[in-house]
Amino acid sequence: MNAVTENVSLSSELDMSNYWMPFTANKQFKAAPRLLKSAKGMYYTTVDGRSVMDGCAGLWCVNAGHGREEIIEAVYKQMTEMDYAPSFQMGHPLAFEAATKVAEVMPAGMDRIFFANSGSEAVDTALKIALAYHRSRGEAQRTRLIGRERGYSGVGFGGISVGGISTNRKAFAANMIPGVDHISHTHSIEHAAYSQGQPTWGAHLADDLERLVALHDASTIAAVIVEPVAGSTGVLIPPQGYLKRLRDICTKYGILLIFDEVITGFGRLGKATASEYFGVTPDMITMAKAINNASIPMSAVAASRQVHDAIVNAGPDNAIELFHGYTYSAHPTAAAACIAAQNIYSREGLFERANQLAPKFQAAIHALRGEPHVKDIRNLGLMGAVELESRPSAPGTRAYDAFLNCFQQGIMIRFTGDTLAFSPPLIVSEAQIDEIFATVKKALHAVA
């Protein structure tokens, strides 16, 4: 490691011109950079030596906390033994072991695991599997994909097509994949403001799928994909009964249901999956982020045996069943990290711990009701959001200023539009939950 990287300060020592940062206002950031140097447990350390508590688990992903020695050792051991193995027509033991570990915490029967490298890749994989499933069953006309308004399903062309966040779509509007439609979102401050947990209003919104079935005919629809809890759009909690009704409609018409659990997977709601939490089993689950505690890029799709077997058993034994995959699918070091992370989750009971902390988290975030600029508060498990009134003619700036104020006070949170989002590592303490929201309260009083 060179001296500039080792000892960089916020001065001009670091050349920032070459790195084009993702989902970032590059000019704004590089004028006043926020640079992190190291991380351990619940805390980052900045390049200028400040300790910053991680109130969002990185990007919803470091569920077991930072710098876990078991994961570090597993990755180091694997790198010294074998740095890479091809995943096409070849295999290595850790790929199969990692798939077994993931399958153990999936819903019953959803134990066929296809590995990729990001949530975006997992979503595109699931969409392609859905199309292949119907084709293998002689229903190749089922090509339409249904997403949801305000949904986030990654940044691949498949993901932004089924996704419903307009800012992610508008620059690429002419190049979306064809045959996609969207059901309405579930967010209504008018009917469900300040709901603690799932809103009681809104189960009927699932019936919007019936409208699309009537419009397009069920025989043309391959799959519906939704986030059980919509995260990146501002933590939108599903109404009571909504997901079950969506499941029933999909079953009624032979439509596959895909849960995008890139955020909710591996303990965020106090269970291994949102599917388990809500008691609703889809046909596929996409996952990434916390699958290996975000230590090395990795994602996966869990498919039901019905979906898997329909594709794999459709042709002769020597034929490739699904023409899809990635150079780094089940990368050896990512698989080693996955196994180690899953062992930590199990041994330390982190999913159960998140469930036990959820009432404390709920009380702490809802204590912000009535503070300056707050228009709604939402929560479920260890994820929540505080939606702020927008400044006239300057939407998004108030939440950004609150985010920046919190960071200066030593707490890192997220913002999306004018919503502040929270998803601390599952190792967070009750005292740290209090500290997070006490800091947010100060920030709300500080911003105009």
Residue with tokens 């308004």: 149
Mean pLDDT of 404-412: 98
Q: Which two tokens stand for residue 424?
A: 């601390």
Of 342, 414, 407, 291, the closest CA to residue 35 belongs to 407
pLDDT at 76 (0 to 100): 98
CB 229 within 8 A of CB 383: yes
Q: Which two tokens stand for residue 6?
A: 């080792």
Q: Where in the chain is the domain with CATH 3.90.1150.10?
A: 3-64+349-446
pLDDT at 11 (0 to 100): 41
Burial of 399 (0-12, 13-18, 19+ CB in 10 A): buried
pLDDT at 13 (0 to 100): 84
CB 57 within 8 A of CB 341: no
pLDDT at residue 433 tops 80: yes
Of 62, 107, 67, the closest CA to residue 282 belongs to 107
Q: Is the dihedral of CA 412, 414, 415, 421 positive or negative?
A: negative
CB 118 within 8 A of CB 297: yes
What is the rounded CA–CA span in Å between residue 325 and residue 88?
A: 8
Q: What are phi and psi of 130, to 5 degrees?
A: -60, -45
pLDDT at residue 5 tops 60: no
Mean pLDDT of 212-227: 98
pLDDT at residue 8 tops 60: no
Architecture of domain 71-347: 3-Layer(aba) Sandwich (3.40)
* Sequence-ordered alpha helix ranges (H) in 163-319: 166-169, 189-192, 208-216, 242-253, 274-278, 305-312
pLDDT at residue 367 tops 80: yes
Q: What confidence tens digit (pLDDT) does each residue in 88-143 have?
A: 999 999 999 999 999 999 999 999 999 999 999 999 999 999 999 999 999 999 99
* 3-class DSSP state of 306: helix
- Starting at the edge strand found earlier in the chain, the sheet holding 51-54 runs 36-40, 43-46, 51-54, 411-412
Distances (CA, A) of 412 to 42, 57, 422, 443: 11, 9, 9, 12
- Give pTM, 2 decimals: 0.96
- Average pLDDT of the chain to the nearest whole number: 96
pLDDT at residue 1 tops 90: no
What is the rounded CA–CA span in Å between residue 153 and residue 145?
A: 13
CATH superfamily placement of domain 3-64+349-446? Aspartate Aminotransferase, domain 1 (3.90.1150.10)
CA of residue 106 relative to chain centroid, distance: 16
What is the rounded CA–CA span in Å between residue 322 and residue 125?
A: 10
Distances (CA, A) of 307 to 117, 258, 313: 21, 12, 10
* 3-class DSSP state of 177: coil
What is the rounded CA–CA span in Å between residue 319 and residue 116?
A: 21
pLDDT at 12 (0 to 100): 56
pLDDT at residue 4 tops 80: no
What is the rounded CA–CA span in Å between residue 151 and residue 164?
A: 5
Residue with tokens 């949904």: 151
Q: Which residues pair with 384 in a beta bridge?
A: 379, 422
Q: Where in the chain is the domain with CATH 3.40.640.10?
A: 71-347
**Cα Rg of the chain (Å, integer):** 22
Mean pLDDT of 331-335: 98
Q: Strand runs (DSSP E) across 33-139, as ranges?
A: 36-40, 43-46, 51-54, 112-116
* 3-class DSSP state of 290: helix
β-bridge pairing 51-54 and 411-412: parallel
What is the rounded CA–CA span in Å between residue 438 and residue 436?
A: 6
What is the rounded CA–CA span in Å between residue 194 and residue 199?
A: 9
What is the rounded CA–CA span in Å between residue 161 and residue 181?
A: 9
